[in-house]
Each structure stands twice: as C-alpha cells, then as structure tokens.
Chains A and B, each alone.
Chain A
C-alpha cells in the first residue's frame, strides 16, 4: 500500500477550473522526485462543493487534509512539504466555510462522490460496490427486495415523491413480458444538479440500483435516459457500463444466480418535458417527447407498451445502501412520512453553493445558515427560497423554520421536486422570477394540449406587461384565473404545475406586483424598463466598482467622487447594478 494518497477532484466544476492541469502537474512533480511508487494519485468525481480545484492529501502524519483553489503553480510546494515531509501547507488548506459546508450533512447518496475514482470499477468495489446486488441475487427473493424497499419508506426523488416499493410491486404483479427498468437521468429542472454529480462521481451505484430493480420486478433490460447537456456524465456512464459488463455485474447469469440484466444508454436531445415519464418513454421510442394521459401507468403499459418502472437517479443510487443496511436502518432517518436523506442543490444568492445531503425534516433555516453559510453578500438579506424548479414555488423568510419534507413543503405552496433550491435575496425581483419560469415553461411546453400551449403564453404576456411598467391591477386577477384553469385542465405534470411560481409569488410577495403596477417601481432594482439608471448619492460609497465593470465606459468616476452615469452611452446592461454592493443604482 502506498503511504500517501492524493485525490484531485475531476467534477465539472473542478475541470472547468483546471483540474486536469493540476493532475498533470502532480504526476510530473511526483515523477521528478521519484515518489510515484509511494503515492496513490487518483481522479475523483464531483463532491458538490464549488470552489475551483479541490485536492485532498492523506498522509500518515496528518490524516486527510483538503486544499482548495489549487493551481498548478502551488503543486511543487504541496509535494515538497506535504507529500514528502508530512507538513500541512496551511495557507492553501480549505478553511472554515468548507468545514461548515460538510458539518451538518449526512451523506448516503453522495457518500462516494469525490471519494472514489468513478472511471475505475476497482475503486467502487473497494467501497462495498456490487455487494448489495450480490446479496439481493443470492440471499433474497424478488418479493423480499421489494419488501425491504417498502420498509425503508423510500419515495421517488425526482419530483412527485411516489413510494418506490409500491411502484415496483405494481410492476412485479404485471404478467406481461418483457418488462423494462428506466433510469430517468434527464435532469431538466433548472437549478438541480444532484443527478449530474452522482452520475459523474459514482455511476456504478446507479447501475447497481437498476440491476436490483430489474431483479425485483422481473426485468432483464434497463435504459438510462441521460440528457445531452451532460457530456461528462455520459462519458463516465459509458465507461462504467463497459467495466461492469466486463466484470460480469451486468450481463448473463450474474453471480451465478440465473438472473440476466443488460443496460443501454440513451442520450436525450434536449426537451424539458422528457423528464415527464410518458414523454420520456416516447422519446426512447424515437418519437417527439409528448406526454400521454395516465392511466394506464407505465408500470402497466410503458416502453413499447410493456410494464416499465421509471426511477430517478438519486432514488436508484439509494437502493444498494438500503439493501445492504436494511430498510429499518433507512427508515430510522428522516421524519414520519418522509424517510431518509435528500440531496439539495444549493445555488443563487448564498455564500456556499453546492450539493447538500441532509436528513429529511431539516429546516430551511438550518440548511441555509449551516451548510449554506448565509447570504452571499453581507449587505444583502435573504428574502426567500425557490424550491422544486418550474413546478415548485417560493417560500418566504418568515417560513424558514418549516421542516423540509414532502408534505410540509406542499403545505407552504411549494414542492420538493428534484431538490433544486435557489436562494433569493433583496436584489431578486419576484415578479421577474415568476416571468422567468413562465418563459421557461411556455418555451418548453410540448404543444399537445391547449391550456398549457396557449394559457402559459397568455400568462407570460401579462407578466411581460407588468415588468415593462404597463400593468394594471386587473392583471393580477387575470393571472389567478388563468392559473386556476391551467392547473385544472392541462394534461401532464408540466402544465398542471407551471402556474405555481406565479401563484406562490403572488401569495407571499403581492406587494412587489403592486409596486410594479401602481408605482411603476421595481423594489429589487431588476426590471430594466422601470429603472432610471441613476446613482443615489445617499447610498453611493464612491468605491468605483460600477465604473470598472461598465462595458461601455458609460460611468464617470474619480477617486473620492460619486459615480455618474452618462445616459447617452448607457446600454442598460445592469452590470453596474450587479456589481454594486450598496444598491446605490436605481
């Protein structure tokens, strides 16, 4: 065994910040110093903490130390001091924010992300990999597997929260053959990126979960439907599938138990609606991804008209651990009706962004001020969160003590969704946010049914009217009426839930709508048509940041002077508003 282990994080975020250059530099430096044999240098996946390149060094003298913002230039110093002499290089080691980010987490799904090499099956096998599949195939009957999942209380992590065990059971009892297992890796919700990280950091866990699901329902064929926007996830899945086949964990007669299972990868072509299960099936069949009415449910008539279960990536990644450690163990985590942990994708106006896995029932406040570290900018105040993507809703600050579980969120007007959690502060305009979601859903509406195709467009028009300063009070009523009809009549989940962002912002932030309509004012200084682009000298601290970021040099500023915007040159790009910490530009 090598004495020292060096792990370089190769997730999408690490790679964009130059992880491969850092890795190369380590190789070069270790080679130069003749240390390659006594060190293990590996590439890990994404651990969900977005601070450029993360490197961990495990040395017998120091234990495990994490370094952040690692650049190739500092690699020789790390090798010389830490790898060779066992001394921590304090100035580069990850600080308190990093510790806080991980302190309150309980990682089950993300356990191996950032810990193992996702492109090397050995790395997975060393960490209990495929042991759950072996246990299921050799020691359990399919019914017992389903029983264990039911006992765990696991509910679908993709959006609706349907109990996984019951879905499997419904499919198992169908007599038609063949049956299919589909892994929904079409993570289309803007603001959610946990599935990408799991696929990039621990792809075998998903394959193992699928094989167990196949055994449980009596299926020999699985599909992974992964969106095309995730090239790295697709690459790693391909590697994982071929390695698992080579080692016999996928294929004929797995573990000599007489069970065969094959997995195919299908690349999506870019359509949000394909996250809806019937649309996803149509897309795998090579058609336009348009939803169908349910029932019949896919568990009865799915892919090619055969019984099919569709589970989300995070759901499937939970399965091996549940089988190994037991349903009772899993059910001991979380709340009465929402068991286990959930991964949240924390982004927006918060200090620490990234993936946070916590037991269900954790309050919003604990999440934001624990791992999240509070607001991104000291001068700003967090006013709400948006959870559940375009189908979800906003929850205002006064409700931050709400526990995050399936039912409490619905009570507050939002949904769990896939767990995308965007933090909003006083510089976010809630009307503009609602408009953003409506422009998203009306763009992505498949066009099949009338309420969604035209209703959302109409709602968007009204919102555009309000943010451009032409709104009237009656528009609020029109929005509410349209929202209700669309929710009552649209065919699929996309349409039925699309008005939610408008309804929840109206419920909690009606005064912002009224300010736009009655005072022609955007309280958050975001809606271009309502902005004057003038510097408020009472707030301006004469720092000059606005002048530095202006792409048109339209801001006059000299040291010790108030900034001044030359209106003729200003293109209203809002770069200055974004940069000003003091909200001095109105």
Chain B
C-alpha cells in the first residue's frame, strides 16, 4: 500500500494538488487509510490534522474500506419528492446499517448523495458507476437480488 501512495506522491507539487493526490489514493485503494495520511503528511509537510480537515470536508472521501458494491441513493429535490428517501430508509432497514456504512458480508456500502443530476428520471440510484432511474422499493429489491 505504501508503495502505491509513494508512487502517487511523486507528482506532488505545492500547487493545490493535495486534493488530487488524495483522490488518486482513494481511486487506487478504495478509501484513504490512516497509514496513507501519515505518508502524505511525511512527504508533503502538511500536518495530518489539516489532511483530515480536507478528507472530512468533502463528501467524496472515505476513511473506511467500501464493500464490493457501493449503492448511492440520490436525495436531491426531485428524488426526494418522488420517493428517494423512502428507498434510502428501506435499504437502511434491510441492511441494518446507517448512512455510509457497509453490510456485515462486505457486499454493499450504502451512501446518500445530494443530486446526481438525473432528476428527469427520479428517483435515482447509482450502483458503482451505473445509474438506475425511475426506481421504487420493489425494483430496488430486484436490483439487489441481481447483485448478490
């Protein structure tokens, strides 16, 4: 892991690329582990608290490893009034997890997301990189069965 982080850090310049570096780490590892933060801090001279400041400010970053599939339930305005919230609550109940947590079998990570910009197909769920529109609870159930 440290090798991957060191390789990414080779490109670091003090020009605002810290967020980009952290994005690359998350791309490669799926999340930003503590060891990576320490390594970034050592190489860049930016303190770990400042790095955590960035990591916790932006919703994209994860500090824990994600499950095999990430389910993002859109809770933008259109999705909210078309029933997105109910789908999100249903999944929380079904998986017995909260927002941003992973199921015990490590199969699914559930997160809410603020608008995927697909409001015309509300309510919307994004599984990994694929968008599913005009969802409801029973369609979501079927989708999850297919993924298992």
Contact = CB atoms under 8 A, between A and B. Distances in A.
Given A269-B61, A574-B83, A190 B78 contact: yes
A551 B77 contact: no
A16 interface: yes
A422 B81 contact: yes
Interface string B117-145: 11111100000011111001110010000
Given A286-B18, A573-B89, A270 B78 contact: no
B50 to A, nearest CB: 9
B116 A229 contact: yes
Contacts of B114: 188, 190, 272, 440, 443-444
Given A267-B23, A283-B19, A549-B137, A353 B121 contact: yes
B118 to A, nearest CB: 6
A575 B137 contact: yes
Given A347-B120, A549-B137, A436 B19 contact: no
A191 B76 contact: yes
A422 B117 contact: no
Nearest to B17: A286
A461 interface: no
B39 interface: no
A386 B77 contact: yes
Contacts of B76: 190-191
Contact of A347 (B60, B61, B78, B89): B78
A359 B22 CA distance: 43
B16 A284 contact: yes
A189 to B, nearest CB: 7
A231 to B, nearest CB: 6
A287 interface: yes
Nearest to A269: B58
A355 B18 CA distance: 36
A288 B54 contact: yes
A286 B19 contact: yes
B76 to A, nearest CB: 3
B120 A353 contact: yes
A271 B59 contact: yes
B97 interface: no
Contact of B118 (A13, A551, A575): A13
B148 interface: no
Given A229-B115, A269-B58, A440-B114, A16 B81 contact: no
B137 A573 contact: yes
B90 interface: yes
Contacts of A287: 16, 54
Interface string A567-582: 0000101110011000
B38 interface: no
B137 to A, nearest CB: 5
Contacts of B19: 269, 283, 286
A229 B90 CA distance: 23
Interface in B14-29: 15-20, 22-23
Interface string B34-55: 0000000000000000000110
Q: Which of B58, B76, B81 has the most CB of A within 10 A?
A: B81
Contacts of A189: 115
Contacts of B79: 190
A574 B81 contact: no
Nearest to B116: A229
Nearest to A392: B77
A472 B51 CA distance: 44
Contacts of A261: none
A16 B93 contact: no
Given A283-B19, A286-B18, A348-B82, A13 B133 contact: yes
A193 B119 contact: yes
Contacts of B15: 286
Given A16-B131, A229-B113, A272-B114, A345 B120 contact: yes
A389 interface: yes
Interface in A225-275: 228-231, 266-272
A356 to B, nearest CB: 11
Contact of B58 (A270, A437, A573): A270
Given A389-B77, A433-B81, A267 B20 contact: yes
A288 B119 contact: no
Given A267-B23, A283-B19, A573-B137, A229 B117 contact: yes
Given A190-B77, A284-B16, A349-B82, 10 more contacts: A12-B117, A192-B115, A192-B119, A193-B118, A269-B61, A270-B61, A348-B119, A389-B77, A424-B81, A573-B90
Interface of B: 15-20, 22-23, 53-54, 57-61, 75-83, 86, 89-90, 93, 113-122, 129-133, 136-138, 141
15 contacts: A13-B131, A16-B118, A16-B133, A48-B120, A189-B115, A191-B76, A191-B115, A193-B120, A269-B22, A286-B16, A288-B53, A424-B81, A433-B80, A444-B114, A575-B137
Interface of A: 12-13, 15-17, 48, 50, 187-193, 195-196, 228-231, 266-272, 283-289, 345-349, 353-355, 386, 389, 420, 422, 424, 428, 433, 436-437, 440, 443-444, 446, 549, 551, 571, 573-575, 578-579
